[in-house]
A and B are shown apart, each in its own frame.
Chain A
Amino acid sequence: MALKLHVDEKLIARARDAARNITGEVQAFIDQHTTTSTERAIVRLFGVEGKGLDEVPLPNLVVENIQDGGGLDRGAAYWVCNAMARHSMSPQEVAAAVGAGKLDLMKVAPVDDGRIHEMAIMMARETFDRIARNRSARKGFINQWGERPTPWLYIIVATGNIYEDVIQAQNAARQGADVIAVIRSTAQSLLDYVPEGATTEGFAGTYATQENFRIMRRALDDVSEELGRYVRLTNYASGLCMPEIAALGALERLDMMLSDSMYGILFRDINMKRTLVDQHFARMLQAQAGIIINTGEDNYLTTDDAYESANTVLASQFINEQFAHRSGMSDEQIGLGHAFEMDPRQEDGLLYEMADALLSRTCFPKAPLKYMPPTRHMTGNIFMGHLMDGLFNLTSVATNQHIHLVGVLTEAIHTPFLHDRYLAIENARYVFGYARHFFEEFDLKRGGLVERRAAEVLQQSLELLEHIEHVGLMSAIAEGIFARVRRRPDSGKGLDGVVTKASGYINPFFELGLKGGHR
């Protein structure tokens, strides 16, 4: 338990209603569309792996074959299952034949629609069974060893080489990390395919591939066994391949994924229609897999002022929550993001940070909030940076944050050295332990500065949400409401991958996942 903040519950309820309306309007659009990456995710969920002609991943070749033939509006599941039924082939055999240029899915004589549908549902059921087994494996480990106390220590590794990452990740776990996040290679979010195999070359990160996921999962399972506690694995789903990477995360038992409904739009200039459609399927898969998502509101504060723009963070958290609910996600899976980014020269900055962090805690009581360390005001003065991280750690334990990205003193200089990480974890463990129950001894002053700041941010967030409710989310993004970044509905990368569904469209995973058929 942490400090208790008193705010007007009616305002919170009203903000949530506004966000529900905002996402409801967008959902109507989402439901009418699919995307190339959604369809490739379906192909992957059918178990397809590997590369075809010119080293192109088979899921891309399959979906390109269908899109070129003008059939994507019925969904990849329809065409793949049709070929499976017609030629008695497995999905992998179908994909390999397409990849080798020996099969054109659009030229396979159609079998009965009912049979295709039945087959698609059967395939999806098998996959969901596999995902359910992953989910119960995770649950088994946690039952066996117990759950970790919060805030969980979340540590990043990013060497570019998956085998080097394994060494760093196991070391970080031994030093106390509860969660390992493998940072992706820079710009992977803009690749319109998921690379294949184990990779050893990346820039400021390591490629997210199915094989890399497997390698790291195995390594963390080994170190979990060694330490007698379950070490969680995280990777990034956002980007042009959001649903595909979510699918791989679900298949390979990732425990968390960065998955934001708007991050790609704002920070990677991915087309908003593409991202909004993609995030729905990605999160439905994550919901099924029991994956905790991490949203990216912290990023707003790297381009916008943390004190002045706290309302954009809270408003976005409400929107992300509502989108996640629409994908069937429970509150316990929605790791809403925020950050400790105020100017260290600001008088009473600690008070405002505490107020903002408590406000998120209060508005989303069941959410495993993801709290991000200072980055913007880290200057290269590692001594000052270490102290700022200490106050960040104090705020986190005082306000009962859940997923705590451990701030490292060498932020803004280089990806952490081995001892940078040790010093950072030592700092966090020291503060968490030393102040563990301290804040339970205090009541916040009624009508005091913390309460007033929180009330003001909540009120401004509500006003912002009401504005977005009025103009619509797409227009609001075009106005530059979040992070001061402006994006138009028809600009950005990946719009050519957005397709309007036809009446015979099939996505068996939605049918099973969202209708509660396979919980």
Chain B
Amino acid sequence: MVAIKSLMDEQAAAVDPQWIKPYGDTTNDGAVQLSFTLPVKPGGVAREAARQMCERMNLENVQVVYMKDLGGGYTFFVVYGRVKDFVDLSTIDVPEAQVPTWSMEQVNIIAREKLGRKITVVGACTGSDAHTVGLDAILNMKGFHGDYGLERYSEFNVHNLGSQVPNEVLAAKALEAGADAILVSQVVTQKNIHLHNLTQLVDLLEAEGMRDKVILIAGGPRITHELAVELGYDAGFGPGTVPSEVAAYVLQELLVRKGVAV
């Protein structure tokens, strides 16, 4: 037992904690699992092709644990292997929207006391996107993950325009409602049409002279804060975001813009 323990200590000490690789059951074993299909009939050649494919992905100790004929000359594989490379955490920089952790009650109180007026948000799934799951999670009364949606906030006026809203309609509605913030959700995409939709809205708002007057927020499974900022948005929220984060972000941003200390 003693011998094993000292070996583990030695290994741990030899490892720079900033350098990591996947963990299976032993530090730095690099264990990963993969599944994929190759356009080849099952058999010895197919199995070897799958193994070599994984070696080209820089895996070693490749084990093809399952091979299944999908018909039509296609074969499915489940594979385990070990990654050779490490990543260096110290070189990674991921910008995230700076959001205070305020509850719904806190947001309402702070909005009343420091902003002194109600906050209007307009939200839509734009372009051809018909999937309102994400938008509804943030806006609908019920909310998401036990966190109430913005419709439940006493200090928020919410206009949920739903799905397949043209950018022009969204901009017009935002103007009409006097929106403080515009929330755009993009869920389903093909051939990166969501990026086109998102940038077109920014262009449109700039052309209408509205861009600086609203807080522009993008959300969806493929959205990161970094991507959103790059596209000309103020913030981006990815999967797992709860409504209070969005509410707190909008309120904080309005206070900053108003010159009020948060």
Find chain A residues with CB under 8 A from B35 CB: 419
Per-position 1/0 for A77-103, Cβ under 8 A of B = 000000000000000000000000000
Interface stretch (choices A133-141, A149-157, A168-176, A510-518): A168-176
In Å, the complex CA distance between A302 and B130 comes to 11
In Å, the complex CA distance between A302 and B191 comes to 25
Interface of chain B, main secondary structure: loop
Please determine whether A203 and B193 come into contact, CB atoms closer than 8 angstroms.
yes
**Identity of the chain B residue whose Cβ is nearest the Cβ of A188 in the assembled complex:** B128
Contacts A171-B70, A303-B140, A418-B74 given; indicate if A186 touches B130 (C-beta within 8 A).
yes
A-contacting residues, B200-248, CB 8 Å: 221, 239
Please determine whether A422 and B76 come into contact, CB atoms closer than 8 angstroms.
yes
Contacts A204-B190, A269-B162, A380-B221 given; indicate if A186 touches B128 (C-beta within 8 A).
yes
In Å, the complex CA distance between A305 and B144 comes to 11
Q: How far in angstroms is the closest Cβ of chain A from B105?
A: 23
Q: Is B142 an interface residue (CB 8 A)?
A: yes
Please determine whether B188 and A186 come into contact, CB atoms closer than 8 angstroms.
yes
Please determine whether B71 and A171 come into contact, CB atoms closer than 8 angstroms.
yes
In Å, the complex CA distance between A419 and B79 comes to 14
Please determine whether B128 and A187 come into contact, CB atoms closer than 8 angstroms.
yes
Give the contacting residue for B191; candidates A175, A203, A267; CB below 8 A.
A203
Please determine whether B36 and A419 come into contact, CB atoms closer than 8 angstroms.
yes
Q: How far in angstroms is the closest Cβ of chain B from A266?
A: 9
In Å, the complex CA distance between A300 and B132 comes to 11
**Identity of the chain B residue whose Cβ is nearest the Cβ of A421 in the assembled complex:** B70
In Å, the complex CA distance between A303 and B163 comes to 11
**Identity of the chain B residue whose Cβ is nearest the Cβ of A170 in the assembled complex:** B72
Please determine whether A167 and B72 come into contact, CB atoms closer than 8 angstroms.
yes
Give the contacting residue for A190; candidates B72, B140, B164; CB below 8 A.
B164
In Å, the complex CA distance between A412 and B128 comes to 16
Contacts A170-B72, A175-B71 given; indicate if A303 touches B132 (C-beta within 8 A).
yes
In Å, the complex CA distance between A175 and B70 comes to 7
Q: Is A379 an interface residue (CB 8 A)?
A: yes
Find chain B residues with CB under 8 A from A160 CB: 190
B-contacting residues, A153-210, CB 8 Å: 160, 167, 170-171, 174-175, 186-187, 190, 203-204
Give the contacting residue for A417; candidates B37, B140, B162, B190; CB below 8 A.
B37
Q: Is A485 an interface residue (CB 8 A)?
A: yes
A-contacting residues, B28-50, CB 8 Å: 35-37
Please determine whether A302 and B133 come into contact, CB atoms closer than 8 angstroms.
yes
Please determine whether A380 and B239 come into contact, CB atoms closer than 8 angstroms.
yes
Find chain B residues with CB under 8 A from A379 CB: 239
Q: 14 extra interchain contacts, Cβ-Cβ under 8 A, other than A303-B132, A418-B74, A419-B76? A: A160-B190, A171-B74, A175-B70, A190-B164, A204-B188, A204-B189, A268-B163, A305-B142, A380-B221, A415-B190, A418-B37, A422-B68, A422-B70, A422-B76
Contacts A187-B164, A203-B193, A268-B164 given; indicate if A419 touches B140 (C-beta within 8 A).
no
Q: Is B129 an interface residue (CB 8 A)?
A: yes
Give the contacting residue for A174; candidates B71, B130, B140, B164; CB below 8 A.
B71
